[in-house]
Structure 1
Amino acid sequence: MANRTENQIAAWLDEIESDEFDDDLSSLEDEEDFIGEEWSDTESEQEQDVCNQVSDYDKEPPQRDRRGEIYLGVDNTVWTKNAPANRGRTRRHNIVFKPPGPKGIARQKTKPEDCMSLFLDDNIIGLIIKYTNIKIESIKTKYARERDAKSTDEIEIKGFLGILLMAGALKVSRSSTSQIFDNEKHTGIDSIYLTMSEQRFKFLLRVIRFDDITERQDRASIDKLAPIREIFDLVLGNFQRYFTPSAEMTLDEQLLSFRGRCSFRQYIPSKPAKYGLKVFALVDVHYPYTYNLEIYAGQQPEGPFRLSNERFDIVMRMVQPILNRHSNITMDNWFSSLKIAKQLFDNGTTMVATVRKDKREVPREFRIARGNPICSSKFGFHSPCTLVSYVPKANKVVIAMSTMHNDTAIDSDTGDQRKPEIITYYNRTKNGVDLVDKMCSLYDVSRNSRRWPLTKFYNLVNLSALNALCIYTANSNYESVKRRDFLIDLALSWMKPLAQQRLTLTTLPRTLTFKIKDFLNLPQAVTHQGPTHNNYVGRCYDCGRARNKSTRKVCNACNKHICPDHSKTVCLSCFENN
């Protein structure tokens, strides 16, 4: 099953028209971020690569009594050179008893729409309908016609989400609505403009809400995330309710592209988007399944939502759902520290991570690249942690820490590079969040918006669709599933009921009615209108009242009046042969 899972993910990645992940150690370099409220500098998110900086730590260490085979950190943390005796590579913390995959009622879901409904369930859809209708009621008086601001319902909201998914699957989500809905110049998407009118789609984009706007001011006084908090918590709870993660997880950050007004918008110059909403994510390594999320909102007001933004506290909140499950978490050097490693180990969870050179628990000998042979390693042991310093090239050193490994093993598959197993394990498991980001960006439902709650909702839809794909693939016995086909089938299953409902409109043009019936595979009713001869002047059936074009010609098949613009001339022999 593991091989089939790897093959399926590889097939999904083949759909991405970009380079593969760089497994080189240069990916361990860091990045800075700044809070966007006043554009003032904040504490570095992932500072520039400290391995290339010259500091007091890079100088030769003073001579000291090592008292045997030990290294001393700056804070006098003792690291022994000798590995603990009589211990294997895998500790009891990494002995997994529960197989990963769907759980509960998720095991019974075999259709794309059913898998998606696990995460965007009826309760969540109902809340979106409720809060959107509250917004519509508040602005209804601004519209001259009542039908231009009518309330929404479940079929329409699901159809709206289906249009977003279809646009993402066809990679036109960032295109203008006039282009997507155009049915005159034939540049639009048939399934989209047959499901909903362009005017109604724009209206729903403006009014869709995820909280009660009449009570938002009170909630916003104690919670910056009030506009999305309820929906976000419900979706996140569903993520954790219907899936058992594997034993290997990745903890990292996402940056959702956003340039509108937001007090906690971040600026990270090393990210492609540079400006956006920062989100911490815990992702399964073997499945592109997002298990936990936390939106970084800066300093919250006094109240129940004010949480510590210290790195130790962020890590412990993020990994709380998987503690004592015999898992390993891979993280970069922004999250890691000796204190975090010990706390995780005490809670039945191991950690593999890179470590910044300026951490006080790191011995000075581990920070020095000069004078050490290229591809050489130093190991230190401080129960339960193993620290390794590896020199990949001249004047470059990489430091990693693990509570999963407890020996000096070198990966034989790396050949002359002689990389420690800690380093190769980190390279293999570090890309969980990056993989999810890349897959979400390939078929992204996001549209340009200056409302940050809507931007976050787009991200939740992307992640829900990706998690639904994992459920669907597992329940299909890991058979080959194309992600694009999955998304299109999912979108159509939510769009067609709305198209069916649209057929009941008496003001719908006949040409659009025929196209919708063809879209829904409904039988076309053949009506014989008008005379059977061509001496009677009538209006062209296809032109309708818009052009009001008169003609004497009728169709030989249906006896409808037809003008030259909507007819073809063929010879008698060709007509009889067809």
Structure 2
Amino acid sequence: MIDNIVTCTNLYIENKKQNFPRDRDCKITSSTEIQALFGALYIIAVKKGNRVDVRELWSTDGTGMIRLRAAFSYRRFLFLLRALRFDNINTRKERQNIDKLAAIRDIYSDFVKNCMNNYIPGEFITIDEMLHPFRGRCGFVQYMPQKPAKYGIKIYALCDSRTYYTWNREIYCGQQRDGPFQTSNKPSDIVRRLVDPLKNSKRNLTTDNYYTSYPIADYLLQNGLTLIGTIKKNKKEIPPEFLPNKARIVGSSLFGFQDEINLVSYVPKKNKAVIILSSVDDKGEVDEATNKPTIILDYNRTKSGVDTVDQKCAFYTTQRTTRRWPLAIFFRILDITGINVEIGFNNTKPTEESPRRRKFLNELGVSLMEHHMAERAKIITLPKDIREFLSRYQTTVDEVPAIKQNGSGRCHVCSAHKNNKTTVRCDSCYQFVCKSHCRKTVQCDTCLYTPMEED
């Protein structure tokens, strides 16, 4: 994925070079720099700085973050975010004729494959919608008033109900044009596509009333999966006795059975009823402590996997203000990657105490920046405080190359309207400095070669 992003980004930079007067303002990037960019986004997310002005984060007055300054200038950071691309910009128009998601299709598919290949979901899984906040120009922005963001790009997600690992995802982009990417947006077809890799695994799927129906429950049973989900009260398969009724007693339950599929109707308050369809082997058991059917307790325990992931993403988010919908989706890819990587890390060390998520994301960001820091440490003209920072964190620094003594340059201390040329360099930062801004010590040969007496 990283190499693909680097290739696409560099292709975009090459196309835009003619718009920059200096080559150094539009240098191509590398995999280490892109990883450092992602690491910086994680660190900014941990500090809740995703909505803070970049110049404040890079401030040199003591309030900024020196690690960010050590990685790249704020101008380079902004340039990389603007240049970040996930497809071949030269062929995009042709691909958009058959695919609305052409700008991010390959990267998104690779991300989903990586999620599926690196984790085995548990016994309980859940399907629900996510909403990636976005209000820019996009043909498939959705309005979902029940979500915190209200407006954004809708994602159908399958998550582990216990660990909240996001295992499979699908972007809703409306009706696709005729071609290989045209798919049905019916709830039953969405469920089939998301659970297809888990057929015959004897897992249980939890859904809300948008997806739950008798046909989908029967389909899952035939493919080795069970279902628990609330069902809409206007479904024709629900008997009238199961619907809300003022005559029904609060706390009472009704059970219906047909083949291997069960229907439960529970009255939490007067004139209300919670109706759940289930294909789990259940004999109408009721929990004595709560007086609720056990199938409702199972539903409450496994229903919130996707919503929890949404909350985690919003709490520490890499999302920055953008008018580009592919970049908005990629920010959420980074957020979910951070959650999934943490879950995978904790599973490899089950006997150890798991680090707090904030600490884990910070360490993840630092590790992504290490290689780029090592390359930056080779630059001999970095400011003194940054070189001290790199040294303090034991970043690998190669031997400093020899400086040509016959060179000359402008004093870096003098104001911009002066042009004082000099051949003298500072012994610490190796930058050119004029006589007015340097100090020399005069010593005779006797003092120079005579060791000082110790106290």
TM-score of the aligned structures, taking structure 2 as reference length:
0.86
1:308-348: CA deviation from partner (whole Å, max 9, x where unpaired): 11111111111111111000000000110001100101111
SS state of the match for residue 262, structure 2?
strand
* Distance in 1 (alpha carbons) for counterparts of 2:209 and 2:47: 37
1:197-242: CA deviation from partner (whole Å, max 9, x where unpaired): 1111010000000000100011111011111110111110111112
1:498 maps to 2:372: yes
1:338 maps to 2:214: yes
* Distance in 2 (alpha carbons) for counterparts of 1:285 and 1:163: 30
1:366 equivalent among 242, 261, 286: 242
1:38-59: CA deviation from partner (whole Å, max 9, x where unpaired): xxxxxxxxxxxxxxxxxxxxxx
1:486 equivalent among 360, 374, 377: 360
Q: 1:517–1:524: 8 Å Cα contact kept in structure 2? A: no
1:516 equivalent among 390, 408, 414: 390
RMSD (Å) for aligned C-alpha atoms: 2.3
* Distance in 2 (alpha carbons) for counterparts of 1:161 and 1:210: 14
Q: 1:191–1:519: 8 Å Cα contact kept in structure 2? A: no
1:133-163: CA deviation from partner (whole Å, max 9, x where unpaired): 0000000111111111111111111111110
* Distance in 2 (alpha carbons) for counterparts of 1:363 and 1:138: 64
1:160 maps to 2:40: no
Q: Give the partner amino acid of 1:135.
A: Y
Unpaired stretches in structure 2, ≥5 consecutive residues: 400-424, 442-454
* Distance in 2 (alpha carbons) for counterparts of 1:349 and 1:163: 42
Q: 1:194–1:512: 8 Å Cα contact kept in structure 2? A: yes
Q: 2:66–2:386: 8 Å Cα contact kept in structure 1? A: no
Identity %: 39
- Give the C-alpha shift of residue 387 in structure 1: 0.4
2:201 equivalent among 325, 334, 341: 325
* Distance in 1 (alpha carbons) for counterparts of 2:94 and 2:398: 55
SS state of the match for residue 127, structure 2?
strand
Q: 1:523 to 1:160 in 2, by over 3 A?
A: closer
* Distance in 1 (alpha carbons) for counterparts of 2:435 and 2:338: 47
- Give the C-alpha shift of residue 472 in structure 1: 0.9
The equivalent residue for 1:27 is none
2:25 equivalent among 127, 134, 148: 148
Q: 1:500–1:520: 8 Å Cα contact kept in structure 2? A: no
* Distance in 1 (alpha carbons) for counterparts of 2:161 and 2:17: 48
TM-score of the aligned structures, taking structure 1 as reference length:
0.69
* Distance in 1 (alpha carbons) for counterparts of 2:437 and 2:145: 64
* Distance in 2 (alpha carbons) for counterparts of 1:511 and 1:251: 50
The equivalent residue for 1:412 is 288
1:445 equivalent among 318, 323, 328: 318
1:134 maps to 2:11: yes
SS state of the match for residue 69, structure 2?
helix
Q: Provide the aligned length of Structure 1 versus Structure 2.
A: 415
* Distance in 1 (alpha carbons) for counterparts of 2:122 and 2:44: 32
* Distance in 2 (alpha carbons) for counterparts of 1:509 and 1:354: 61
Q: 1:333–1:355: 8 Å Cα contact kept in structure 2? A: yes
Q: Give the partner amino acid of 1:447.
A: R
Q: Counterparts in 2 of 1:394-405, with a 5 A limit?
A: 394-405=270-281
The equivalent residue for 1:299 is 175
- Give the C-alpha shift of residue 541 in structure 1: 7.8
- Give the C-alpha shift of residue 173 in structure 1: 2.0
* Distance in 2 (alpha carbons) for counterparts of 1:171 and 1:244: 32
1:454 maps to 2:327: yes
1:529-571: CA deviation from partner (whole Å, max 9, x where unpaired): xxxxxxxxx99989x87999758799xxxxxxxxxxxxxxxxx
Q: Give the partner amino acid of 2:375.
A: Q
SS state of the match for residue 156, structure 2?
strand
Q: 1:377–1:388: 8 Å Cα contact kept in structure 2? A: yes
* Distance in 1 (alpha carbons) for counterparts of 2:181 and 2:426: 67
Q: Counterparts in 2 of 1:7-46, with a 5 A limit?
A: none
Q: Counterparts in 2 of 1:341-352, with a 5 A limit?
A: 341-352=217-228
Q: 1:539–1:550: 8 Å Cα contact kept in structure 2? A: no
The equivalent residue for 2:267 is 391
* Distance in 2 (alpha carbons) for counterparts of 1:522 and 1:500: 5
Q: Counterparts in 2 of 1:542-557, with a 5 A limit?
A: none
The equivalent residue for 1:245 is 121
Q: 1:552 to 1:524 in 2, by over 3 A?
A: farther
* Distance in 2 (alpha carbons) for counterparts of 1:167 and 1:143: 28
The equivalent residue for 1:267 is 143
2:72 equivalent among 185, 196, 199: 196
* Distance in 2 (alpha carbons) for counterparts of 1:302 and 1:337: 28
Q: 1:167–1:445: 8 Å Cα contact kept in structure 2? A: yes
* Distance in 2 (alpha carbons) for counterparts of 1:261 and 1:338: 38
2:56 equivalent among 179, 183, 186: 179
* Distance in 2 (alpha carbons) for counterparts of 1:509 and 1:502: 12
Q: Give the partner amino acid of 2:352.
A: E
* Distance in 2 (alpha carbons) for counterparts of 1:134 and 1:545: 36
Q: Give the partner amino acid of 1:394.
A: K
Q: 2:125–2:205: 8 Å Cα contact kept in structure 1? A: yes
SS state of the match for residue 505, structure 1?
coil
1:269-306: CA deviation from partner (whole Å, max 9, x where unpaired): 12110000000110001212111101001101111111
Q: Give the partner amino acid of 2:364.
A: L
Q: 2:231–2:277: 8 Å Cα contact kept in structure 1? A: yes
Q: 1:336 to 1:539 in 2, by over 3 A?
A: closer
* Distance in 1 (alpha carbons) for counterparts of 2:376 and 2:334: 25
Q: 1:546 to 1:369 in 2, by over 3 A?
A: farther
Q: 1:134–1:213: 8 Å Cα contact kept in structure 2? A: yes
* Distance in 1 (alpha carbons) for counterparts of 2:130 and 2:434: 53
SS state of the match for residue 122, structure 2?
coil
1:393-450: CA deviation from partner (whole Å, max 9, x where unpaired): 0111111110004311101231xxx111111110010011111112222221111111
* Distance in 1 (alpha carbons) for counterparts of 2:351 and 2:206: 25
